Amino acid sequence: MPSVDFLKSVPIVRSPRVMQLEGLFDVAPNKESRERWTADLPIEDRIWNIGLIVGPSGCGKTTLAGELFPGCVAGSFEWPADRSLVDAFPEALEIREVTRLLTSVGFASVPSWLRPFRVLSNGEQFRATLARALAEGACRDSGHNGIGSSAQKPLVIDEFTSVVDRTVARIGSAAVAKTVRRLKQKFVAVSCHEDIIDWLNPDWIYEPAGNLFQWRYERLRKQSTENGKLPTKPNRPNIRLTVCRVHHETWRLFHRHHYLSGRLNRAAVCFAGFIENQPAVFAAVLPFPHPHRPGWREHRLVCLPDYQGVGVGTAMSEFVASLFRASGRPYSSTTSNPGLIKSRAASKKWIMRRKPSRASRRRSHNTVSNALQRTAATNRLTAGFEYVGPSRPHEARGFGLKIKS
């Protein structure tokens, strides 16, 4: 098991101010300052993916992490000042692997991928750094057999979530945890913030301040016993998404993150989802004038980068679809997002009407059809789906939508 027992010392230059300080606080004169750490982490006793070293500043988290996992602490990366974010990832990775990894940590904003790292927001930089650390860790430990290869050494991230606000930190932790478990990697977060514990859901927690190590489930079992409740397995906290019908102007908060176009059809019915009173996701719907099955189609769906990776976009899309299904008319959606295609293909709430393919632009005598074809994708794979999940007639009335009588 990883264990350490070491002493760190630094010389003290006894300057006039130092000697005055010794006199003021009755401190014994010393030639050096010493601090000793002892730690034993029985992490080889069980299979694990995620660990957390947590505690207040100055308790030795960073020092201990470096000693416990030598050579595993991710350093500061160099990012090209004038090149796109994706160009900074290991050359051994194919672009599909890079984009898959960025998406998996909750950073699925294609326009932002094209920008240099230096111009991204703190939240975007946080996700990008995690994605690159996971990528380089996988390449380092597996000799690059592809993302998802077994990595023997843990990846250690110091100051985890320290540079982002706490809402972004919690949601980002959940997205990272899901990715690490999917890739079957070992990941250790070093942080002074305990609010991420339930979201990161680590297998073990070590607190240097009290030299306390606990497996996560045992910690929950102890807390449950003290509260007189039966222990339960750890689960990520629920996210409360408040959906409102909004004006078209709300689109300006989201438009730059849409991977196709920043334009919004003025005929669209618009909705926004809020998390802790902050805008997080946007959806817009248009009438679909099909000659045989007229209905509705999803026009825009954008989740802000800070809220990606935990299913907020999927939840918003399905909720809005359920509102319009109450009209008795079909609700369809076409997407090229690989994650969304995979999710919908596995869901009982959607039926794939068209497998991933490149749309053709055959001329039609129908003016409306030609207008729709001009917006169709011809240079990328898209898939078509129809929502067949439950409808919400009561909620639809509340949003002012007409429902089937």
Three-state SS string over 280-301 comes to EEEEEEEEECCCCCCEEEEEEE
pLDDT of 367: 44
Kindly state the percentage of the chain with pLDDT values over 90: 53
Count of structural domains within the chain: 2
Tell me which of 194, 226, 258 is where a domain ends.
226
* Alpha-carbon span 321 to 388, nearest angstrom: 9
Question: Environment class of residue 285 by beta-carbon count within 10 Å: exposed (0-12), middle (13-18) or buried (19+)?
Answer: buried
CA dihedral 51, 54, 60, 66 (to 10 degrees): 20
CA distances from 56 to 38, 53, 61, 62, 368 (A): 17, 10, 8, 11, 62
* Domain membership flag for residue 259: yes
Q: What Rg value do the Cα atoms of the chain yield, rounded?
A: 26
Here the CATH number for the domain that contains residue 190 is 3.40.50.300
How far is Cα 356 from Cα 335, in angstroms, rounded to an integer? 9
Quote the CA–CA distance of 260 and 253 in Å, as a whole number: 16
Inside any domain, residue 236:
no
Whether residue 164 is found in the same domain as residue 259? no
pTM of the model: 0.80
The closest alpha carbon to 187, from 172, 175, 177, 199, belongs to 177
Domain range for 143 is 3-226
Residue whose pair of structure tokens reads 């908060």 in the numeric block? 253
The token duo for 387 is 């929502």
pLDDT at 217: 76
pLDDT value of residue 10: 85
CATH code, domain with 297: 3.40.630.30
Are 256 and 341 within one domain? yes
How far from chain centre, in Å, is Cα 217?
23
Measured distance CA(175)–CA(59) in Å, rounded: 27
| Interval 288-339: pLDDT, tens | 988 888 999 999 999 998 899 899 999 999 999 999 999 999 999 999 888 7
H helical segments located in 227-300: none
Mean pLDDT of the chain: 86
Q: Please, what is the angle between helix 95-104 and helix 122-142, to 10°?
A: 130
Any domain includes 235: no
Strand partners, 6: 37
pLDDT in tens, 46-100: 999 999 999 999 888 999 999 999 988 887 789 999 999 999 999 989 998 898 8
Average pLDDT estimate for 170-191:
92
* In a shared domain, residues 34 and 88: yes
